[in-house]
Structure 1
Amino acid sequence: MSRWRPPSPRSSPYITADGARRLEAELRQLWVRRAEVTQHLAAAAAEGDRSENAEYIYRKKELREIDRRLRYLQKRLPALTVVGELPGNRERVFFGAWVTLEDAAGEESTFRIVGADEIDPQQGWISIDSPMAKALLKKTIDEEIQVVVPSGLASWFIVDVRYE
């Protein structure tokens, strides 16, 4: 039995203007952090035996993690398309929309459709690649959507669509 798994599908290359600014700020901050970690690493390496030096081992690991994230951001940022303008028809759900849904029990939930690099479940930001967002795209108020969830098929009605 093999441990090989097929690669995951590529995420959409879209991002909001705020999301792009956050990623660029993170990239700048990582370069500053990398310089600090490199200085601490050099000081730890100067202490002598590196095989038992916990500070040296920790800083090497931290530097690897920073470098991994730097490589990702440097590769991902140029490939992203910043969506800054509002759609012509603001009655329909498109990228960047805030959508309020009502389920059969009458409970409302609000989601914002954003790029894969800026999802945040705490704020209700969902990826444009998610099943919920795919079901919502190009729909209007009072339309019903159905999404397959772990417990089966769930239905919601679109109550409100807004852009900020």
Structure 2
Amino acid sequence: MSKAFTKEEDGDESIRLDDLPQSPHPNLVTPSGLATLNARLSERRRDLAKLKETPDAFDTKQAVAVTERDIRFLEGRISRAIVPDPKNHQTDIVAFGAEVDVMTEDDTRRTFRIVGEDEADPVQGLIAPYSPLGVALLGAELGSIVEWRKPASTVDLEILAIRFP
């Protein structure tokens, strides 16, 4: 049974929500990704301070509980953050942080950047390292062909360029 409701020491009923799950993977982040996590944490802390200034209604207690849960989640992500230095990567092998130009089987050129899970946005070409595409690209050499295993098919991608912005 979940302990969503607990009593504070002063006798007021407060709400404590279960923590959001953390990824089981190492939390690789780019410098901009870490900055975004820190900005989100600062914003949530400001939100919490404002909420605590408002009257003690149930809606406020619920909002405080959600905000506190978000803060715990972000603190966990930041405490586990690993920022690899792109200067330590070979320039002809895809690694975390790389921007990769590929050619698809239908001669379409696409660019992907391997970023942290919190930064991933496939529509923008930002790919998490643990996604099927990230797994296919990581470790690939310039000029090689990799197999991107999708749920319904497999797509061959030729690595055309590797950059570390």
Name the TM tier (shorter chain): 0.7 to 0.9
Which structure would you say has the larger RCO, counting Cα contacts within 8 Å and 6 or more residues apart?
Answer: 1
Deviations 1:41-90 (A, max 9, x none): x2xx3xxxxxxxxxx44433322221111011112211111123423411
Return the letter of the residue paired with 2:88: P
Deviations 1:113-145 (A, max 9, x none): 111122122321111111211111121222111
* TM-score normalised per structure 2: 0.79
Q: What is the DSSP-based 3-state SS (H/G/I as helix, E as strand, rest coil) of the residue aligned with 2:123?
A: coil
1:67-106 map, 5 Å = 67-106=68-107
| Structure 1 residue ranges, 4+ long, deviating more than 3 angstroms after superposition | none
Return the letter of the residue paired with 2:61: K
- Distance change in 2, residues 1:80/1:153 (3 Å): same
CA–CA distance in structure 2, aligned partners of residues 110 and 62 of structure 1: 40
Which 5+ residue runs of structure 1 have no aligned equivalent? 1-6, 46-55
1:120-159 map, 5 Å = 120-159=121-160
1:40-119 map, 5 Å = 40=54, 42=55, 45=56, 56-119=57-120
CA–CA distance in structure 2, aligned partners of residues 60 and 20 of structure 1: 29
Q: Which residue of 2 aligns with 1:13?
A: 27
Return the letter of the residue paired with 1:101: V
> Do residues 24 (structure 1) and 38 (structure 2) align?
yes
Which structure dedicates a bigger proportion of its chain to helix?
Answer: 1
Q: How many matched pairs? A: 145
- Distance change in 2, residues 1:141/1:18 (3 Å): same
RMSD over aligned Cα atoms: 2.0
TM-fit CA distance, 1:96: 0.1
Return the letter of the residue paired with 2:109: E
TM-fit CA distance, 1:14: 1.2
- Distance change in 2, residues 1:74/1:88 (3 Å): closer
Q: What is the DSSP-based 3-state SS (H/G/I as helix, E as strand, rest coil) of the residue aligned with 2:146?
A: strand
CA–CA distance in structure 2, aligned partners of residues 9 and 74 of structure 1: 13
- Between 1:65-74 and 1:7-16, the stretch displaced more is 7-16
- Distance change in 2, residues 1:97/1:88 (3 Å): closer
Contact 2:22 2:77 survives alignment (8 Å): no
